[in-house]
Every structure is written in C-alpha cells, then in structure tokens.
Chain A
Amino acid sequence: MANVIVENDAKQYIVVRLGDEQYGIDIRYIDNIVRMQKITRVPKVQPYFRGIIHLRGEIVPVMSICTKMGLPNNEITNDSRIIILKIEAQGLIGIIVDEVKEVVTLASAEIDKVTHNTKDEKSNFINGVGKHEGELISLFDLNSVVGEKEAV
C-alpha cells in the first residue's frame, strides 16, 4: 500500500458518453446509477424533463441533458443509464446518458479551466476539460446542469 499516493487536489470523475463526446461528472454528487426504466411523462413541464421515475420509494425527476444542451436527442439503447445526482438540499434528479464508461482520477494539473463562450451553448454547462490518456473529457458544471437555464 505504500506506493499509493493520495493526491489532495485530485478528483474522481465518472466518464459518460453523450453522442460522440465524453463528459465527466464529479463522483461526489452521484447518488446512484440505474438502468434505463420506464419514465412516466409529466405534461406541461420544461421540455428537457423526460418525466419521473420511481427510485426506492421516492419520485425522482429525470431530464435529458442532451435536450437541455441543445444536442440531438439521446437514442435509448441497452447501454443507456440514468445517473441520479444528489445536489445539496434540492433533492435527487436523474440525467440520461448514453453510456457509462469508467471512473478516472484527474489531478488539477490535468484540468484546463474553460471560460464561458456565450456563442457556444454547450460550454455553459462545462467548467473544465480534463485530459486522460490522450482523450479529452468535458467536465460538467453540475449546478448549471440542473439549474433553470436552458440552451436556446
């Protein structure tokens, strides 16, 4: 165990796939990852909300992060998962991703901060880009992901 170095400024991210791109979600905010299940549609809500699901006796709203970011809609496949996020006091919320790939540890040196580019809607939901084994991972800014603002 001696050669395990705990890096204080390193964070763990779960790497998910949305379309062709890879995104990272800070593992501290993840409550659970569940398989795709029947989502009960709720009428007259924000368009990016797919509906609600039942999770351990609770009702959890589920949204499509793709729709919210203005990407093409998720195609539901066998690999699709719902990631249940738990953010502070606001309760649980699920986001649909196309595939869950792996868990990576990124040191802060491996993360480039991005500045918000108003022209690019997607970047409003990203607060950094991580480099891991030659691949780029966009890191979600979860507060804006679950927040009210929507890409137009």
Chain B
Amino acid sequence: MDVSQYLDVFIDETKEHLQNLSDCIMTLEREPENMDTINEIFRAAHSLKGMAGTMGFKRMQHLTHDMENVFQEVRSGNKNVTSGLVDILFRCLDALDVYLENIQNTSDEGTDDNASIIKELNDILNGDDDDLDGEAAPEEASQEDTAQETMSEGAVKGDLRQLTDKDKEAIREAIGKELHVYGITACVNEDCMLKAARAFLVFKAAEEFGTILAQTPSAQDIEDENFELSFTFYLAAKESEEPIVAAAKAVSEIAEVTCREILAEELDEKPETEAAADTEQEHEAEAVQPPAAVNAIVESAAPGKPEKAAQSAGKKQAANKPVTSRTVRVDIEKLDAVMNQVSELIIAKNSLVSISTSEGESMNNQAFHDQIESLERITTDLHESVMKVRMVPIESVVNKFPRMIRDLSKKLDKKMELYMSGEDTELDRTVVDQIGDPLQHLLRNSADHGLENAELRKERGKPETGMIRLNAFQEGNNVIIEVSDDGGGIDTEAVKNKAIERGIITREQSETMSQKEIIDLLFMPSFSMAKKITDVSGRGVGLDVVKSNIEALGGDVEVASTIGEGSKFTVRLPLTLAIIQALMVEIRDGKYAIALGSIQKIESISVNEIKYVQAEEVINIRGQVIPLIRVDNILDLEPKEEEEENLTVVIVKKGEKSAGLVVDNLIGQQEIVIKSLGKYIENNKIISGATILGDGEVALILDVNTLL
C-alpha cells in the first residue's frame, strides 16, 4: 500500500500526539493519581502506535508499543508513577522525535532501534525498576533460571500477543492441517558471546522437525543480537515436543528450552491493547519470508535483506530535500471569510466592467466612485483575512518548554518552575518557526545563569524553587514575549570586569558606561558569563545569536535587571513580515518608507536649534537630547544647494535609543507590501527592502534599526 500521500498528515498528527504526551506526562509527574491524564496518555500512545504501524514505521511502532504496555500497567494500577519512570518516558518521546525528524527529512524512520530504551521499558514492565511495587511481575525476567516453568508460560503467552495477524493466521492454518504448533522459548547462557549464532543453530535444529512460522523478536532483531537472553519461535511439526526440545538443548550455550503446544483458541485471546497493532510493514516483511521460504533463514540468514534493501532505498532519498512541505493548519472559518471576500471582489469587478460599458457620463462617475470605495474595503478585509490565515499561536513553539525546564532542573540540580501565559498569542507562521531557538536560549540562560541554587536562594530569603516566567502578549503592531526570572540579576560589575579582561572595552570607557550599556555588552559575540562551560550554556554562543536571530525577524531584544531580584528579557517582534504600515517620506527625488512602528513623532526644527556634541549634530526636544541623522548623507545623495530654515525631522526609536532623521518632505501614511531586493544586490542593510507604490513607482524601505 502506498501511504506516502498520508505522510504530511501523519507528521502533523504525530507532532500533536507527541506534544500531547509530553504535556500529559508532565502533569502526571505532578499528579500521579490523575486517572484522566493517564487515560489521555494511553489514548495518545495508542493512536501513535496505530499510525506508525499503518505508515509502516516499524521501529517507531515497536517503541510506542512498549510505551503503551507501560501505560497499560500504570492505568491498571500495577505501577506507580515515579520520577525514574517519567525520565524513561521522556527519553522515549525524544527517540520518537528523532524518528519523526528522520521521516520528515527522508520519509524513512532511520535505523536506530533504541534498544536500550525498549529494554528499560521492559524492565519496568518486569518490575526491575526501583519502585516499591515489588509484587507486580515477580515471575518473569529476574528469575529466568529458576522458575523456568512459569517463565515459559508467561513468556510464550506474552509473546503470543506480539504476533501479527498474519503470523496468527499462519499458526491457525498449521493447526488446521493437524500439525502441532509449539511455542518454544530458548534461553541462552548469560555469558554467551554469540547469541545470534546460537539462536541460529537452535532454529536450524528445530527446522529438522518442521517449519518455523513466526518468531519474536523478529528475525532481523535476532540476527542483530537485539534481544535479551531468551527468544521464542513458533514451530509447526508432526512430531511430539520432546525430541524437538532435546535437539534444541543440544546446541551449546543454550541454558533452557521450554516448549508448549499452542492451541487454536489461544490465538483469539486478543487483549484490547493489541487491536491496532498490525502493520503493513510487518505484513510485507513477513510476506517475503512465508513458511515455505524458511530455508532462506537456514541457508543465508537472509530475513533481514528485504528490510535492508528498503533502508538503503531510504538512504538514497535522504540526499534529497525534506519530503514534506511546510504547512499551516487553517480554521475553516478563516478560509470561508477569504472565500466570501473573493466573491465580493468578483462582484465589484463585474460592476466596474458594466459601468465602463454603459452609457451616460454623469451617472458613471457616481457609480464608479462607489465601486472604487467598495473595492478598497474589500481589499483591506481580504488582506486582513489572508494575514489571519498565516497567523498561528506561539503555543506550538512554547509548549515544549515546560519539558525542557524540567530536564534542566534535573541537569543543573536546581529547583525551578516555569510559568507561561499568553500562549495563544498569534504570530506570522514564518516568525513562529524561527522564534523557538532564541526563546530556548533565553530560558536556558535564565535557568543556568539567572537562578541561584537552592542554598543561596534560602540565604537570600527567597523560596527554594526558582521561578521563570514566559509571558506573551500583543502590543499594537508588535508581539512582546518576556522571559523573566527571580534569580540573582545581572551583576554589572562582573560584566564590566569581564569585558575589560576580554579587551572589549577599556577601563576608561567602562567608567562612563550606563548600566544599560553594560548589560548590552552581554549581547556581544563570544561574551559568556558562565564561570565554567556546561552543556547548558556558557560557550559564548548564546545571547549574540539570540540578538541576531531576533533582529533578522525584524524584532529586537532588551534586558532589564535588578541585582538580587532577577532579570527580564523582552523580545519584541513584528506581527507580520510581509505588509506593514509605513510613513512615506521624500528625500530629494526619491521616495522612502519608514516603518510606522518605529516612529515616535515628527517635528519641525529650525536650523538654529541644532547643537553640536562631540562634533555630532544633536537637537534638544523637550529636555531630551537626541542625535540628528542626515539621511541624504548616508544615502550618498547630492547635498541640497541651499539649506532651508526649517527641517522636517522624523524621530525614530529603537528600544531606548532615539534619533532624528532629516527628510525633505512628508508624503503620508500608507500600507506597504515589503519586497526583497533579491539575491544579486549586496545587502547594504540601510535599505531593508523595497515596495511598489500605487503609481508603479518603486520606494525603498529604510531600516531604522541599522540607521541608529
């Protein structure tokens, strides 16, 4: 079955389920008794497994299957939720994430079996973990050698559940042909060096008597030695069990062989959890080696081949671009709105056509103007709707953070809690995609540098558990995301000394610097305050990257900090990238656009008011001294022949900084569509793009951030 067309849906939904799982497991850790959460987890894990199975991602399915088994135990009350369990579950999620990423990039899940995680899951199932619930599964695993009888019962029966329908069908068929079907579990010596070879010999011995119908773990896993001490296979034979067991035991380094006849009824005992477990992939894999082809196993240990071929095919694909495109899920209501506006647009166009063909001058003019007005309204609405379609809540990015903070808390051995608000704040998809990394950096920074350890916090009279806040909200045409902590704040003296030590500033300079300027030093490339390099932060590739990433999105980042009380990073991002409100100005004969968001006010200044500070022109506006920037100079334009008495100055600000831009003329406010200058022109940064005006003329967009 070709399932590639469902790949996009699969990836989307898997992401959702994984996120859901992560959230629920977090909740579960806090409220281990919450049945609703457990059920929710169970459902999510189950759907994941089903989907992975249908798509033929066998390893993914395998892992989720084992996870599900653990949840099953938790649900039925046989297991308690412990921190260790949660850790393992999170590692499962990470592994699933890796699979998903592989699938997204290459449409193949990769070759990592994550055997260690699976083993740990099974250990939990078998009661080997450190929780106190000792009676959960006493017979299995730990007592393999002594209680073989019970073990084989348990194991064979347990393994029956792991069979696919296809295998079961084969077994049923064999029983139908009046053959005996034995479930044989063999156990190799603990110190056995070549488990796979021993298993192979056992299979070979068994095949003297009949046909191997199925095996768990799979032939591939056995070949790769991907199994614990025991393995089970199903043999259809005419003989009674004794000679078979004897033959299997004759293989050296085989500790135990247990055998049990499988009856047809047992096959139908299907625990509910298994219902959706069957996979196309398994069918295919098994189909390549049906009972008749069992010789292949004997002669060349070939069962792995079909899968390997599939893998190499997958690898070839890996060289190509990601196989899925970026998508936005759109609320159908939003699409309906767009559709409606488009139909209005068509009506307006038709009216215009009919006006142009009808006769009578005076009538025309009135109707014409009406239509133009309605056109204007429709296009504005349409723009708004389309923008809305592109907007997604930042939730998709931030909801992985609680998990990250939990991990950091363990890693750094600090107690901390993340509080988030405003996750439903919406941003343009392109911005949301790129804001994740910078925010992650900031949170790590808060966790590592910001928060003190528990003792120090106690000493300072703060609650032991540190607090990190992530708050997002919309403010005008911007979205603000604040990351704050109640830690130690930024020690400006330390920063200063470090900067001097690194030769970034001189001692003299440092004396005249304001607090804010010193804090800004943190954003310099390769400036790290961490005393020792940890893998959390401290490599000096933190804040400068954050800053440049955010600036690339047209935003900026600011820090406010009070020593002893904590610090707050404020990230400001434009709501959308493509269309902005701008002030159009004229400088000589060129038209330029300045983003309205960065404009504070517009002043008319007489030439006499210009003062000089360090040979730089400044103006004093109501007590505030701000530098004057001659834009024409920067743009290499011809100076004016005659300076006018009064200058038009557009006051712009970026964070705390302001400056006055001298322009020749104001044209007015306009909504402009930002176009890139293309790849050929070397980016000079003063011009961030261009826009096409109503008359077809091109205007350049001045980037205030670089001018300041």
> Contact residues of A with B, CB < 8 Å?
38, 40-46, 49, 52-54, 57-61, 63, 90-93, 146
Contact = CB atoms under 8 A, between A and B. Distances in A.
Interface in B652-706: 675-682, 684, 686-687, 689-690, 692, 696-700
A61 B678 contact: yes
29 contacts: A40-B697, A40-B698, A40-B700, A41-B590, A42-B681, A43-B634, A43-B635, A43-B684, A44-B635, A44-B686, A45-B684, A46-B681, A49-B681, A52-B690, A52-B698, A53-B698, A54-B697, A57-B692, A59-B675, A59-B676, A59-B678, A59-B689, A59-B690, A59-B698, A61-B677, A63-B680, A90-B679, A91-B679, A91-B680
Given A41-B590, A93-B678, 4 more contacts: A43-B684, A44-B684, A61-B680, A61-B681
Nearest to A45: B681
A43 B631 CA distance: 11
Nearest to B687: A42
B508 interface: no
Contacts of B242: none
Contacts of A38: 697
A46 B682 contact: yes
Contacts of A58: 675
A45 to B, nearest CB: 5
B644 interface: no
B637, B697, B699, B700 interface centre (most CB from chain A within 10 Å): B700
B359 interface: no
User: Which secondary structure dominates where chain B touches chain A?
Assistant: loop
Interface in B628-661: 634-637
Chain B residues touching A, range:
20 to 34
A134 B700 CA distance: 47
Contacts of A49: 680-681
A60 to B, nearest CB: 7
A40 B679 contact: no
A46 to B, nearest CB: 6
Contacts of B699: 40
A38 B692 CA distance: 13
A54 B677 CA distance: 11
A91 B678 contact: yes
A43 B679 contact: no
Interface of B: 590, 634-637, 675-682, 684, 686-687, 689-690, 692, 696-700
Nearest to B693: A54
Contacts of B635: 43-44
Contacts of B690: 40, 42, 52, 59
Closest 7 CB pairs of A and B: A44-B684, A40-B698, A43-B635, A59-B675, A59-B690, A61-B681, A61-B680
Contacts of A60: 678
A146 B680 CA distance: 8
A24 B491 CA distance: 66
Contacts of B682: 45-46
Contacts of B684: 42-45
Contacts of B676: 59
A43 B678 contact: no
A59 B679 CA distance: 11
Contacts of B675: 58-59
Contacts of B686: 43-44
A43 B687 contact: yes
A31 to B, nearest CB: 13
A41 B700 CA distance: 9
Contacts of A40: 590, 690, 697-700
Contacts of B679: 90-91
Nearest to B634: A43
B590, B679, B680, B681 interface centre (most CB from chain A within 10 Å): B680
Nearest to A38: B697
A146 B634 CA distance: 27
B700 A42 contact: yes
Nearest to B695: A54
Contacts of A54: 692, 696-698
A34 B554 CA distance: 34
A49, A52, A146 interface centre (most CB from chain B within 10 Å): A52
A59 B674 CA distance: 10
A43, A45, A63, A146 interface centre (most CB from chain B within 10 Å): A43
Contacts of A44: 635-636, 684, 686
B233 to A, nearest CB: 55
Contacts of A45: 681-682, 684
A61 to B, nearest CB: 5
Contacts of A61: 677-678, 680-681
A96 B590 CA distance: 21
A38 B697 CA distance: 8
Contacts of B698: 40, 52-54, 59
A59 B699 CA distance: 10
A61 B692 CA distance: 13
A91 B678 CA distance: 7
A92 B698 CA distance: 16
Contacts of A93: 678, 680
Contacts of A63: 680
Contacts of B680: 49, 61, 63, 90-91, 93, 146
Contacts of A146: 680
A98 B697 CA distance: 23
